Structure 1
Amino acid sequence: MRGNNTRRVGIVAGSVAAAALALTGCSASPAAEEKPELSDEPVTIGLTWWGGDARAEQTQAAIEAFQDEHPNITVEPQYADWAGYWDQLATTTAAGDMPDVVQMDELYLASYGARGALSDLDQLGFEAQNTEEDALATGQIDGVQYAAPIGVGVYTVFANADLFEKYGVELPDDESWTWDDYAAVSQELTDKSGGEITGSTLIGGWDAGSVKYWARSAGSELFGEGGEVTLDPQSLADMWQFQLDMIADGGMQDAAAIVESQAAGIAGGALATGKVALGVIGYNTQLTALTEASGADIRLLKLPEPEGVDPNFYKPSMFWSVASTSEHPAEAALLVDFLLNSETAADIIKTERGIPANSAIRDYLLSDLSETDQAAVEYQDRVTPGASPVVTPNGASGVEGILQRYTQEVFSGQTEPLAAAEAFVAELQGEIDAAQ
């Protein structure tokens, strides 16, 4: 999953890309009567993704392994960093030249899938093997499988066990604790450290996952099936107010420190630098990166859950999709199958794109994973996710930029929580309506 810095840089670029796609006038491709057949002739297909050099090297190695198994298929790779990827993809889509296989993100899935730019994977004969239905649903729009999840994660509290031990504070029992317990242990950490650290950093307001979690805890959802914003503003206001109270009591970093921590990304944030002992900064799949950056014993704790409610959910790290304009859809689907379901590809890619959604591949890799990756898998097995949230609607890909702006207004005292929550809902709905 992407770091916080990268995500924020990409918000604007991704919104522009989605807008560009909206102007292409893509229409849904007709339903295929028969599954496409593989060709015996030489075939060339394109594969595109975002990521750095390490991902490029691994993906190229996987491509070469695929080509060894299918010598008549040539895969032409291309990649970009997150900020430029979506503009590049929108440009090729508008020109009718989208690469055959594309790496897709949940924020932009509806922008491409609902406008006919992506193929129905079921019609191509692709089978997502050993993948839970709720994980598969993260790549569906109106029941159509436009994307296959590569990896999945679940929301988590990160805890620096070294700091808990240093200041004589017991790690909480995450099977039974409440948010009030979270606030109390955060305050205890601040007090027992004599102010050397603050108990907690941010627990919500910088990413859509936090809003979804608090909304689901209160019986609401961020988005409804029709693509509308169904969030009860009170649940968002309650999340903000809870943190304001913690800040006032000293158990949570102040607004300026939170902004600084978020801007520094996972490797430079308050958890990595030992300024705090607790925080909700993302998903279990980030454990290895945070541990390497901090050098500390970082533990994963379940978020407090209301009794009888499962507010957590599967978050896809990213997807593979096939372009509806592909001239070789059978070969494209075969490549997706290889990348997701083959042990050969798993040996190369491992968990670079997240903990595999394919449970058989996850089990195959488990013994060779690092201790922190194994801990992330074990944590994910402890969590009981609820139903998959509705995919981010077309027009709402800028949700996190909007959320961050209102969060900063609330934390700085410019806007009252409920007023900000109501404004957030109205603005986000306006973005969705404008994209229709």
Structure 2
Amino acid sequence: MKFGNRGRHAIAMGALVAASALALTGCAGGGASEGEAYDPDEEVTLTFTWWGNDDRAQRYQQLIDAFEAEHPNITIEGQFSDFPSYWEKRKTEAAGGGLPDVWQFSDSYLREYAEPGLLLDLETVSDFIDFDTFDDGLRSTGQLDGTQYSLPTGYSAWALFLNDGLVEQAGVEPYEGGTSYDEYTEWVASVTEATGGAVYGGTDLTQRIQNFENVLRADGKNLYTEDGELGFTEDELRDFWESGADARAVSIPQQRLEEITPKSGFGAGLTASEASWSNFLGGYLADSGAAHVSLVAPPTTDPDAKDLYRQAGLQVAISAKTEHPEAAALWLDYVVNSEEAGEIFGTTLGFPASETKLAGTTLEGVDAQVADYLESVADRIGDAPPVPVAGYGSLEQTFWDLGKEIGLGTLSVDDAVTEFFQEANVILG
């Protein structure tokens, strides 16, 4: 399959090309062209990368085609990979000074890439980007110390997904959402018992750092502070992991999940529920083959808390060393602001963060479902947390890995807590 203007840009499906190839074709040096006027007729080639699956790649290709039709002098060379490989690749490129011109970014890595000066200050190309289409809360998710380094493609909220067909087959009432964790665990147990374990009610929620985050936020805290430090204690983490003991007894066994990786229990049709970000709805439908998937509010420790927030983690940034900052800004603006992006992506990159992108989005089917869900949890939406600590992506993965070891029975909760804080101390210096 070919991607790009007149079929010239082949994307390696499912994997990025070797590090040396991208370093050679990327943006090695140059920086913003100070004092030089932008020439709209100059032939320019930009590298652009993202993480995701084939569906996302096909959508990006449609957007590339539309952009190149409007800007025939700019060629976009696209590449993508899965999420873990993507960030390993970026680390290699950052060390060698060859990040892509424009790249799909995550607010989890904002400190890590902005503080060393690897990202372009978008205000330097403000003539080519419309910032006014974002409200202050969403625009600020790409800021560090007042400097705009990235812009969000959309936003999501944490949600609980239900495979309606499996719930119906189990003969139990659907989980209503927004109850206590104990009540949710009772519902999970009812599904597992009703099916004799052929389908489990859910997956251990204490494996995901986002569920821990919700518990902290309900208590007025966050995962990290404004100063880039952890916002919780060893005792709080221990209590959280220990609270999952009853849920682990009735949820899908971790060993079963290891056997079906990289699919989740929900994606494989083995669990009736799973917690994740609301924009995953389309992917869950595709992976699970379910006729219908519902989104309901996740459980909470306080029904009156503002524990949820608009997570605008999926963003777009420009390398500080790009040789074509104006052209790169035009492409970034097209990704985050154009009506064409709204039409092509819908809510699959999050609910559109900009007014102009939203104007191009037809909210029907899955997209309408996501919109309805976001409206339904509006009373639980609070302020966004501080900018993630440097190395948050690694901490998130460590949290998940340790949670899985607890589920396998290969690591005690006490040892897991010790290992997490040891790793955090190394990452945070």
TM-score range, shorter chain: 0.7 to 0.9
1:407 aligns with 403
**Aligned-residue offset at 1:192:** 3.2
Secondary structure of the residue aligned to 1:289 is: helix
Q: Distance in 1 between matches of 2:193 and 2:89?
A: 50
1:186-213 per-residue CA deviation (whole Å, 9 max, x = no partner) reads 22223333444332222231x4323322
Q: Percent identity?
A: 25
1:104 aligns with 105
1:101-146 per-residue CA deviation (whole Å, 9 max, x = no partner) reads 2221233332211111112223421333443433333322223221
Structure 1: gaps of 5 or more residues: 1-8
Q: Which stretch of structure 1 is more off in the superposition, 335-344 or 382-391? A: 382-391
Distance verdict in 2 for CA 1:429–1:275, change over 3 Å: same
Q: Is the 8 A contact 1:300 1:379 kept in 2?
A: yes
Q: Distance in 2 between matches of 1:291 and 1:347?
A: 20
**Aligned-residue offset at 1:302:** 0.5
**Aligned-residue offset at 1:419:** 4.8
Q: Distance in 2 between matches of 1:180 and 1:84?
A: 36
Q: Could you tell me which of 266, 270, 277 is aligned with 2:265? A: 270
Q: Distance in 2 between matches of 1:336 and 1:288?
A: 24
1:185 aligns with 187
**Aligned-residue offset at 1:45:** 4.5
1:48 aligns with 48
- The alignment status of 1:133 with 2:136, answered yes or no, reads yes
Q: Is the 8 A contact 1:149 1:316 kept in 2?
A: yes
TM-score (norm 2): 0.80
Distance verdict in 2 for CA 1:88–1:160, change over 3 Å: closer
Q: Distance in 2 between matches of 1:140 and 1:287?
A: 28
Distance verdict in 2 for CA 1:404–1:98, change over 3 Å: closer
1:283 aligns with 277
**Aligned-residue offset at 1:408:** 2.9
2:307 aligns with 311
1:301 aligns with 296
- The alignment status of 1:202 with 2:204, answered yes or no, reads yes
Q: Is the 8 A contact 1:149 1:317 kept in 2?
A: yes
Secondary structure of the residue aligned to 1:388 is: coil
Secondary structure of the residue aligned to 1:199 is: coil
Q: Distance in 2 between matches of 1:312 and 1:417?
A: 26
1:252 aligns with 251
Q: Distance in 1 between matches of 2:191 and 2:40?
A: 65
- The alignment status of 1:383 with 2:377, answered yes or no, reads yes
2:4 aligns with none
1:333 aligns with 329
**Aligned-residue offset at 1:346:** 3.0
The 5 Å alignment of 1:416-427 reads 416-427=412-423
1:79 aligns with 79
1:250-306 per-residue CA deviation (whole Å, 9 max, x = no partner) reads x32233234445x242xxx322344322222x2111112222323243211111231
1:86-109 per-residue CA deviation (whole Å, 9 max, x = no partner) reads 454445545544333222123333
Secondary structure of the residue aligned to 1:397 is: helix
Structure 2: gaps of 5 or more residues: 1-13
The 5 Å alignment of 1:88-103 reads 88-103=89-104
**Aligned-residue offset at 1:414:** 4.4
1:6 aligns with none
1:155 aligns with 158
Q: Distance in 1 between matches of 2:394 and 2:198?
A: 37
Distance verdict in 2 for CA 1:208–1:183, change over 3 Å: closer
**Aligned-residue offset at 1:361:** 2.5
- The alignment status of 1:432 with 2:415, answered yes or no, reads no
TM-score (norm 1): 0.79
* Aligned length, in residue pairs: 398
Q: Distance in 1 between matches of 2:370 and 2:48?
A: 28
Q: Could you tell me which of 170, 173, 177 is aligned with 1:170? A: 173
